[in-house]
Amino acid sequence: MDHRILHRLGVALALLVVVLLVPTFMAAQDAFPTIPHPLEGRDNCLACHETGAGGATKIPDDHAGRTIEMCQACHQPAPATEEEMLAPTAETPSAAESPTPEVSPSPAGPLPVPHTLEGRENCLECHQSAEATPVPEGGPPVIPHPLIGRENCLACHAEGIGGAPQIPEDHAGRPNDICQACHQPGQLPAPPTPTAPAEPIPTPIAYPHAEGVNTCLDCHAALGGKHAEITAQWQRSIHAERDVVCADCHGGDPSATDVNQSMSPEAGYIGVPPKTEIPALCASCHADVSLMRQYDLPTDQYAKYQESTHGIRLAEGDLNVTTCFDCHGGHQILKANDPASTVYPSNVPALCAGCHSDKELMAPYNIPTNQFDLYKQSVHGHALLDNQDFRAPNCATCHGTHGAAPPGFEEVANVCGSCHSATQDYYIKSPHAQLGDSGPKCVDCHGRYDVTKPSEAMYLGAEPRHCGACHAPDSPPGQVAQTLYDSISAAAQDIDEAEAAIRQAQSVGMLVGPLEGQLREANTSLITARAAQHTLDVGTVTAKTDDASVVSEEVKADAEAAVAESVFRRQAMIVAVVVIALCIVALFLLKRELDRQSEAEAEQAPRVDSSEP
């Protein structure tokens, strides 16, 4: 036994004592700052405390490298009672051991939210009075949309995606969960209402009729130039065909041969009607039910026009807006189903663009002018303008014709559904639709004028119109998008593979008609799944995609079996042909022998007895 051993024993005992005493000491100390706010919704401590955002206490330098999971090892929530949490004046933590958060003296600086929001959702209740820090002039902007499914404010507002206002620079570093401390959901502005009351329908112009006589035409045609051009235009029009003459619009006496008489105010001549009076002039006939019935024409154009933005502005004296004359042509008015007509469906986009693409004309109204360019590139534009597919919408299909008005949100959902009715039925069952007016509508994902061909890629990625533009991939809606992508893509791939197998079977001459029929069923399931995904209900969609996958896998197996059968047939064919070839060779040998025999017989004897034994 020497000193060294004793010394080591002593050191070991001392260490043991220290190891046992430190935790006891630490537990007894409780010297770490407590967490002065509830942890619900604020589980990411570093989001605020790393940078000191929103006035949060910045973590000390010696804490560098510590992760979120470690914070609560030392820092525990302050033992605040329910009464304290709900008390309107309990905005500062009172416990002596909790440090008071720093409040920036500058109103433009980051604002702290030093208390729980539970029961204090309406910040302005306190912050507009002297009881708490006052809000800036006018109050914080309200949230103009519901929050269900849009919990992640920063997904859109951080970079201003989809037209969302970008958060101000002084808000930098503020996390998602404190936005609503100041910004509350608000109300949408009410849609504009027409200001002009409906005008009464005017009486048509009366003039003396003389059967077959129209001196207006005779003179103007003879005058040449612009006059003759007008008469020629009129003669090509549907009005000329229906005997609606110059005097019906311009007044005067078409039976008089003296110009001073025919074009006199006494004869009712009004000359070129002022633009503001054109709708009423046209309506004097076209709003007359008894007159229009014989032509099977509607009579509500005038009433609709007066309610339209065009009509309202015209009533206000704005002469830039369109009237009947501008769209239908003045003298050369053709039937709407005449391909030469300006209002023929495929001519409508260019007609509207005549004004709405004019930057100078649209500038005072603050209306964009790129709609026609966008439309031309859209699926609708390609279908209508390039392929003359009249099922595709033109401007008037969505905006209305005579009742032209800027579409509101509600309207958009309905106008798309007037063609895409099955999709609309599914959409109205979705959480998106349940958000009401401010939920995402068709145009938010598919575009308004530039509707592109949708694809499964829209489920992925965070670019505009993709699910990720609003929903983070790991959020519940993001997970739904991923599931929809997976199931629809898988079904589409199954169908593609079955289709390829069918084509292969067809290329070797196998009958694939029944398989094609089955695959059409699978495709129908996929198409309905693509429509049904607007419900955002994974169960509904996967039921359909599973159907599609099951059927297409059966089809693929049958098609591959047909290809295998074809291979077998060809192999059997080779065997059969070889057997036949052997027979032919044998017969050729026999033939050669016979030929020799018969030649020899022919040489020898002129006649033979042909009977055989």
The residue (of 228 and 573) whose beta carbon lies closer to another protein is 573
Residue 438's closest CA among 409, 460, 407, 406?
Answer: 409
The sign of the CA dihedral 490, 491, 492, 495 is positive
Q: Is the Cβ of residue 4 or residue 607 nearer to another protein in the bound state?
A: 607
∠ CA 377-383-389, rounded to 5°: 155
Cβ proximity to another protein, 2 vs 612, nearer residue: 612
Torsion, CA 263, CA 265, CA 267, CA 271, rounded to 10: 50
Straight-line distance from the first to the last Cα atom of the chain, in angstroms, rounded to the nearest whole number: 136
CB of 596 to another protein, least distance (A): 11
Place of tokens 């050191």: 11
DSSP 437-502: GGS--HHHHH-SSSPPPP-GGGGSSSSTTSGGGTS-TTSHHHHHHHHHHHHHHHHHHHHHHHHHHH
Write down the least CB distance from residue 606 to another protein, Å.
Answer: 5
Closer residue to another protein, CB minimum distance, 405 or 510: 510
Residue 296 or 609: the one with the smaller Cβ distance to another protein is 609
> Smaller CB distance to another protein: residue 155 or 515?
515
Task: Specify the residue, 206 or 608, whose C-beta has the smaller distance to another protein.
Answer: 608
> What single-letter DSSP state applies at residue 251?
-
Q: 128 vs 388, which CB is nearer to another protein?
A: 388
d(CA 21, CA 18): 5
Is residue 138 left, alpha or beta, with left meaning phi > 0 and alpha meaning psi from -120 to 50?
Answer: left
User: Which two three-digit tokens encode residue 142?
Assistant: 């309200």
> Nearest approach, Cβ of 512 to another protein (angstroms)?
9
Residue 282's nearest CA partner among 244, 228, 308, 236 is 244
Report yes or no: 135 and 118 within 8 Å, Cβ to Cβ: no
**Coil/strand/helix, residue 160:** coil
CB closer to another protein, 340 vs 572: 572
Report, in Å, the least distance between residue 390 CB and another protein: 20
What contacts 518, CB < 8 A, 6 or more positions away?
551, 554, 555, 558
Q: Is 77 helix (H, G, I), strand (E, B) or coil?
A: strand
| Nearest distance from C-beta of residue 592 to another protein, angstroms | 10
CB 481 within 8 Å of CB 467: yes
Backbone φ and ψ of 592, nearest 5°: -60, -40
Instruction: Name the residue nearer to another protein (CB basis): 263 or 563.
Output: 563
- Residue 404 exposure: Cα atoms within 13 Å on the Cβ side: 19
Applying CB under 8 A, which residues contact another protein?
509-511, 513-514, 569-570, 572-573, 576-577, 580-581, 583-584, 587-588, 590-591, 594-595, 598, 601-603, 605-608, 610-612
Which of 11, 580 has the CB closer to another protein?
580
CB of 434 to another protein, least distance (A): 43
**Residue with smaller CB distance to another protein, 13 or 581:** 581
CB nearer another protein, residue 503 or residue 569? 569
In the bound complex, what is the minimum distance in angstroms from residue 498's beta carbon to another protein?
18
Strand partners, 579: none
Percent helix, strand and coil across the chain, each to the nearest 5: 55, 0, 45
Residue 319 contacts residue 275 (beta carbons within 8 Å): yes
CB of 577 to another protein, least distance (A): 5
Give the per-residue SS3 of 394-412.
CHHHHHCCCCCCCCCHHHH
- Residue 77 phi, psi (nearest 5): -60, 145
Return the SS3 of 308.
Answer: coil
- Residues belonging to the chain: 613
Shortest CB 412 distance to another protein, Å: 37
CB of 521 to another protein, least distance (A): 15
User: Cβ 602 to another protein, closest distance in Å?
Assistant: 4
Shortest Å distance, C-beta 185 to another protein? 55
- Smallest gap from residue 431 Cβ to another protein (A): 42
